[in-house]
Structures are given as C-alpha cells and as structure tokens.
Structure 1
C-alpha cells in the first residue's frame, strides 16, 4: 500500500479536502470494482460520468475521491481531491502506484493509422530473436517476455498499461514496444510514461467519428512526439505528407525514413512476390516474408528503430529476413485447387487500397480478385462509401457483408458502402449480411488461381452484434470452407 500523497505526486491539484497521508489499497475508476481503502477516480467518459458514482464508490469502501467537480455535500471521513483532468490524473497516479515502471524500460511508442500492430509486433519478434527479454502492448495481445495476456483496446487504460509494465520490470524486460492510438493519446492514457522513442507510420482517413476533423486526428497523434524528451528519438515516415508535422515541436532527436524521398533511412523494393519481397537497405539486399509497399515501409521502420536502439546493422538485416507475418495482416492460405485466400485487418480506405493494390501488382492478370468486406458499426460512417468505391474499383467481384455491426443495422451499413459504388461497377457487387455465408459464396465463386480477400477483421476472433460477441475467425472459416470444396 502507498499513501495518497505518494500516488498524487506530479498531479496538478486544484483543491484538497481531508488528509492525503491516508493509505491507499488500489486505484479504481470503475465504481463496481471499488474495495476497502481504495481511491476512486471519477472520469467523464463518452457514455457515463464517473461523478455520478461517487456515493456508490464511498459505500463500497473508497476512502478518497479524485474528481474534476467536487460534490456539493462532503463526507467528513473521506478525502476529496479536485483535479483539472481526471484522465491525466489517473494516468500519473497509475504510474506512481506501480513504481513508475516505464523509467526502467526502453519504451518505444508506435502511432499512425495503419501499421502500428505490424511494426510493434515485429519489433518484439526481432528483439526476442536477438536474445533480449522484451515486452509488447498491442491490439492483438500484451506480452511480458514469454507470457501472454489478453487485451481489449489498442492502447489499454492507464492502470492496465502500468500494471503490465511493472510485470515487465519484475521479469527483467529491457525493451517494450507499444501501440499508441489516437484515442489513447486523447484520453491521456500514456501520461506519465517515459518513452525512449516514438515512430510515426502514416496518417489516413479513420476515427473521424471520434475526432470530428482530420486536423484534430493528426494533431492528437502529434502529441506523442511533442511530449518526448531531448534524450528520446522521433522517427517519422517522410513519404507521408503529415510525417514532418510530427517533428515540428518535438525536443527529441529527429530521424526520417522513406521509399521515395531523401531520408535518414531508405529502402528500395527489388522484387515482390506472393511469398515475400526482396528489399535493398543500406546497400544490402534483404529478403522479407512480408509483401507489399506498405510492408516495405513497416520493415524499414523496424530496421531504423533497431538501429537507433543500438543493434548492429548486419545483425538487424539478418533478423529482418526471419520475421514472420502478424496474424490477420496479409495472412494467406492456398487451397489444393490453387485458390489463394488472404485475410487482412484492412478496415480503413487507405489500408484496403494498399492490400488490393498489392494483390493487383502480384497477379498475372488472368485471376479474379473476389473481395469480402464490411464496415464496423458505431464507428466513422464517412469512410463507408469510400471503402465501397475502393473495393469495387480494384476487384472483379465484391461481396458486402457485416463486420462488427455493434448497435447498428448491418443492412444500413452495407447500403452506406454501396452508395460509393460507381455505376459501371454496380454489376460487380453482391450484398450478403451473414458474414460466413458471404465468405462461403466467395469460395464458391472462386476458380483455380483466383484470389479471395476477406478484409476488415483480421486477427479478431469474434463478431459483435448488439453487445453480444460470438466466435468468428475469418482465417479459420475461409480455410475450412475452401477445404470443404475439395470433398
């Protein structure tokens, strides 16, 4: 247990009522989880306001309350602390509570619209192969060296982050690679963390349901770089028009990478095939099992980061050639009938275009590309017609279907995607709400050498409809359906 005063170190306080010398058991921001002698942090969320549950938290045993708005009536046995921003206070408190674990790690944050999971996961993989104890905080999972923990958010809440960083300290982990989402930055989940470096991959249309404007989305990403110390490094993709924006106000050492522009780190694609690509980096050729221009950028970001963290260049190149693809990222299967099925997390217009452009570059021209795609419910609606347009413009056949409809009607979501389809492409489309039936139809339509792309869910093993999650694994299902065609 720690004192409330210790936990509040570094938090900007507006007012305090009561003693801060009291002992605190745990920090909670969910009133349902409050226990005896806990401190409850009232957070103003998008759905609920934690201030409404202060009385419930006290009834459950909380002895101290941290909030943005003090209640009108005080309990004399309770310590009340007023702060300007509950999310920021929670993050700093969490870091203090767990002993500021990020200070004992070489923590690198990865942000951008696409590529965060691939870059962070493969950096974890590369440093493991190099013989280090490594941590990972990603969309797919949290890894504390060899121990795996489940995760539900790209960037978890501040308590979850610091809890696992402390576990990494306990296991002797030296490096940690962490996806940093715009939501996580905006909600201050990474406040109080000490980053040794940050990587910017790219920026394209996404999350405008949350950020409202593209400029706000971009500037939120930029905050990660603004907060870096002069000891840290800032690595950015200069081929992206927003790449230099990330470096404008950072105190960190600045580095760039690119395929097309002059940069500190450059690469060239020499060959591209379905089983990998040949890249030229630092005048050395390296074979990568990951294909496509977007993965060439990812590999270059990984190379640059490993170099900035002090690994030997030739050793990095050797390890790059050994890296395996990440689940749900251009994950492919070739059936006995030579039908290629590709599952990819592409759920933004840019990601979908990247994947389809890569497929169309690799195909000989005689194969059909059959795309199965949907859009998630309760998310940015403006990208739906754009994705409908891209899918039909770059495929021979498109089946619109459900993704994770959540609380929305999947039929309405599909209709909004169809609105982006140009008249000349309308005859390419089918609409099948049931995702498994849509994938099955794609398998039935495919002939020898055809390519099926199942886009949008990637690594996810569930489908969420009206608050209910059911098991659903795109890769597993498409493999089973293609195998059944051979029977």
Structure 2
C-alpha cells in the first residue's frame, strides 16, 4: 500500500478521458495494474499485454477494493461504488496518472536517459557513480539494480513500468537526490512507460540487430529509439554517438540542444586510446590523458559519453576527469578472473552480434599470437532468433575455439537454439566448434583446454546470477563457475 493519498481529480489532471461512469472523487491510496496487488482504495489499470489482458481481471480488482478502474473497454455489469474511466491508451494514461500521483518527481530531479542497443547499463551506472564521486546524491534505474542514493533495490526490467518508475523517483526526491540516471529501453518508449517524464538529457549509444522479435523490422526499431529524442524539450540536451551510422538520425527532429561524441569523427567530445592492455587503457579525452581499468573501443566510447553528459550537466572538467579515473568496470561487463597459472577468464553480458564483436575485438587487440581465445557463447530463448547464426559466425571468425551452449533458454529447447547458431558456422570452420548444451560443463571445458596465457571469454549472461529454463529460475553465475574451476586447479 502506498504512503500517500490523492483525490482522483488530481490524479487524472491533463489526462484525456473518453468516457466516465461514476461521479465520485475518491481518495486513492495506490496505483497498480496487477490485480493481485489491489487493496482498499486502489486505482486499477486494465492493461492489454502480450500474455494477458487486464480487462479480464477487473472484477477481481473490484472485489479486492479497487475504487477506480482505468480501461480501454468498459465492462458490463453494475458496480455503483466504482468509477470507470475509459481511455484511448491505458499504458499512456497510466504514465501520466503515475506522474500526477507521485507529484511529478522527474521535474524535481535532473533526469538523464540512456538509450541504444549496447552500453546503456554501463553509461547509466558510471554516470551514477561519477555523480556520487563528485559529492552529489543520485539515483539509478538500470538493468542490474536500482539505487536511491546509497540504497540498492533489485530490478527485473531494464526500464520498469510507469508506476514503479515514478514511485522510485519519488523516493529519490525524498532522499534528497539531485540526479537520476536511467536506462531507457525501446520497449519502454514504445509502451509509453517513460511518457510524462521530464528529461534533462538523452544519450544515444548505438543501434544494432536486437529485439526484432518485438519490433519486427530494424526500421521500426530505429523509429522507436528516435521517438525518445523527438520527445525531449528545448531545455534538454541530446548527446549522440557519431561513430554509429544512425547517430545523426536520432537528432533529426529533436528540439533539444544537440551534442555529439566520437572516437573517429569531428564531434563536440572526442577521445583516443593511447595504450591498451588487459589491466586497462590510457585515454586522451578532450585533450587530457588519464588511465582507466576499462579496456576496448566500446568502453572508450562509453566513458566518452559519460564525460560528455557530465559536461552538459555542468560538472567542472578537471573534477570530472579525476572522478572518472576512479571508476571501475560494471559487474559482468568485461569482468576478468585470473588463474594462478596465467589463464584469463573474461565474463561479459554481450548478447547481441555487435556487442559480441566489440568484446572479441577488444581482446584480439590486446592478445599476442601465442595466446588462444576460447569463446563460450549461447543465445536466449523466446528472443530474436535471427541473431543466433550471426553471433555464432562472429564468435568463430574471431576466436581460436568456440563452444556453443545454453544461455537462458526460457521456454525453448536449448538444443534447437544451438542448432540455429550452428547454421552460422561455415563447413570449413566446424573443426573449431563444440556444442555443449550444459552451460556449466561448457565453461569448465573451455577452462580445461586453455593453456597458461590463454583467454576464455564467457559471453551472454554477464552479471546475471540465474539461468531461466522452462519458466524456472535457478542460481547460476558464470563468474563463480570460472573461479571454482581455477581454484580446483591450484
């Protein structure tokens, strides 16, 4: 149950209501779209989703104490003590009503959204940590965790629903936070989860083959990403990556102040890698050199986005660079585990062809010809199947040996996913590919065939501490398995 109560008339302010049944103006104590969470004095949103239609749960919500129902289709029957509000789009209405219920928290924070296929989590998380190092109170909304200043809250979605988002930001305001850094997924933009939020800035990382199971076409995926920038206000900044061919597309119709960053092009903010080893790299950023424990061009680009956003937020240049030199890699993003005999394990969240390509390139730019690269990779079930053979082809192209395995198969058969990945392997390359469905066995096999000095890349799950099979989540951590194997070999 929520800690605040608001009149319905205040909650629906500026929301277009197509039809209303009931004149009452009740006090509302909570908002929810899950009938299982309805309590006395709740407002219930009947949302149409991919798996269920909230309209089917209206009676249950009313029985549990809902005083108001927001829906796209009015139900039959008589409910004299309930107010029904028919709207065009219940998802959109929920976003604006959540904003009103929680006193427009995004307007009391400096909110920066990060969108793109890869790099969202790293950039948002590093901005949060940079703000903290500079002495600010800040909040974070990301794939890995949500933070209200120092308080960590678990999360399961890249961008939560609008009620959860506004509730979270309200807590940030109450905690005295100055900033909120948020990953903005294409799903969230398309479903209106971020509607009604006032962003001070938006960052575009890149756009590559992903989520076509949802968006159907790449053009539609680009269009949805662009919608986020189209919605920014004149007082906001739009910071785009010019090293991505669609970077300029994002800025075409935005009203925001346009800024850019690049490792290659002429841009507002520029950087160059001076030196790179497994321990980190020396960067020349905006004319200043500093050492960072991150490696790879993709991480140089991520750090440059953090720098550019920090400057646009008004953070002093020298203080910003000092803070950034103290940043550490995000968990499960190019996270290294070393054995006593010199084998390097790398765990990374790369689960798209482009992300995998970037990680492989980063390793290959550092390793010597004597060092073999053994890559363990799978693909998630119930997700874009078209990327599976592409990922396998990329892994084979840039690795000495490849082991195809399970990721999170979800409701699909792991063997069929691996079979689809094998379609991307040329006949001439099959000699260096193994298929081991059991992920733990695959990781242990990769470690066992590695010689001193070799690199074992385990890609796909990164920070995740579970594996999802047939709707069941069980504990699984790639990093733990590598460490256990290395310790047993001592």
Shorter-normalised TM range: over 0.9
2: CA distance between counterparts of 1:137 and 1:360?
Answer: 33
CA apart distance, 1:21: 1.4
Q: Tell me whether 1:330 sits opposite 2:327 in the alignment.
A: no
> What residue is the counterpart of 1:349 in the other structure?
353
Q: Is the 8 A contact 1:268 1:280 kept in 2?
A: yes
The answer as to 2:302 corresponding to 1:292 is no
Cα contact 1:3–1:20 (8 A) shared by 2: no
Partner of 1:195: 199
Instruction: Tell me what 2:175 maps to.
Output: 171
Corresponding position: 1:5 with 2:18: no
Whole-Å Cα distance in 1 between the matches of residues 75 and 156 of structure 2? Answer: 32
Cα separation, 2, equivalents of 1:171 and 1:40: 28
SS at match of 1:13: coil
Match of 1:118 among 108, 118, 122: 122
Distance in 1 between the 2:22 and 2:252 partners? 43
TM superposition score normalised by structure 1: 0.99
Structure 1 residue 387 corresponds to structure 2 residue 391: yes
**1:73 and 2:77 are equivalent in the alignment:** yes
Rounded to whole Å, the distance in 2 between the matches of 1:55 and 1:327 is: 44
CA distance in 1: counterparts of 2:62 and 2:109, whole angstroms: 36
Structure 2 equivalent of residue 218 of structure 1: 222
Greater alpha carbon shift after TM alignment, 105-114 vs 12-21 = 12-21
Give the counterpart of 1:421 among 425, 444, 448.
425
- For residues 249-301 of structure 1, what are the alpha-carbon distances to aligned partners after superposition, in whole Å with 9 as ceiling and x for unaligned? 11110001111111111111111111111111221112121110000100100
- TM normalised by structure 2 equals 0.98
Q: Deviations over 1:8-40 (max 9, x none)?
A: 112121111112511112111011111112111
The aligned residue for residue 112 of structure 2 is: 108
The correspondence for 1:243, drawn from 242, 247, 250, is 247
Residue 307 of structure 1: aligned partner: 311
| Counterpart Cα distance in 1 of 2:82 and 2:24 | 10
Deviation at 1:7, TM superposition (A): 0.8
Q: Report runs of 4+ in structure 1 exceeding 4 Å deviation.
A: none
Q: Indicate yes or no: 2:293 matched with 1:260.
A: no
- Measured in 2, the distance between the counterparts of 1:447 and 1:268 equals 33
Q: How far does residue 77 in structure 1 lie from its aligned partner after superposition?
A: 2.0
Of the structure 1 ranges 330-339 and 310-319, higher mean CA displacement relative to structure 2 is found in 310-319
Residue 211 of structure 2 is aligned to residue 204 of structure 1: no
What pairs with 1:369-384 in structure 2 (closer than 5 Å)? 369-384=373-388
1:464 to 439, 455, 468: 468
Deviation of 1:72 after TM superposition, in Å, equals: 3.2
CA distance in structure 1 between the partners assigned to 2:115 and 2:245 by the alignment: 15
- What are the within-5 Å matches in structure 2 for residues 132-147 of structure 1? 132-147=136-151
The residue number in structure 1 matching 2:55 is 51
Aligned to 2:437: 433
Measured after TM superposition, the shift of residue 319 of structure 1 is: 1.4
Which residue in 1 is equivalent to 2:87?
83
What are the within-5 Å matches in structure 2 for residues 274-285 of structure 1?
Answer: 274-285=278-289
Unaligned 5+ segments in structure 1 are: none
Q: Which moved more, 1:377-386 or 1:276-285?
A: 276-285
Give secondary structure in 2 for the equivalent of 1:362.
coil
Does structure 2 retain, via aligned residues, the 8 Å contact 1:222–1:246?
yes
Partner of 1:93: 97
1:378–1:407 CA contact under 8 A, matched in 2: yes
Q: Is the 8 A contact 1:5 1:20 kept in 2?
A: no
Please report how far the alpha carbon of residue 73 of structure 1 lies from its aligned counterpart in structure 2 after TM superposition: 3.1
Residue deviations 1:299-345 (CA, integer Å, cap 9, x gap): 10000000000111111111111110000000001110100000000
Aligned to 2:365: 361
Structure 2 match to 1:454: 458
CA distance in structure 1 between the aligned counterparts of 2:412 and 2:488, rounded to whole angstroms: 32
Please, what is the CA RMSD of the aligned residues? 0.9
SS at the partner of 1:240? coil
Unaligned runs of 5+ in 2: none
Matched residue of 2:180: which SS?
A: strand
- Partners of 2:253 and 2:46 lie apart in 1 by 32
- Residue deviations 1:333-385 (CA, integer Å, cap 9, x gap): 11101000000000000000000011111001111100011000000000000
User: What secondary structure is seen at the aligned counterpart in 1 of 2:66?
Assistant: coil
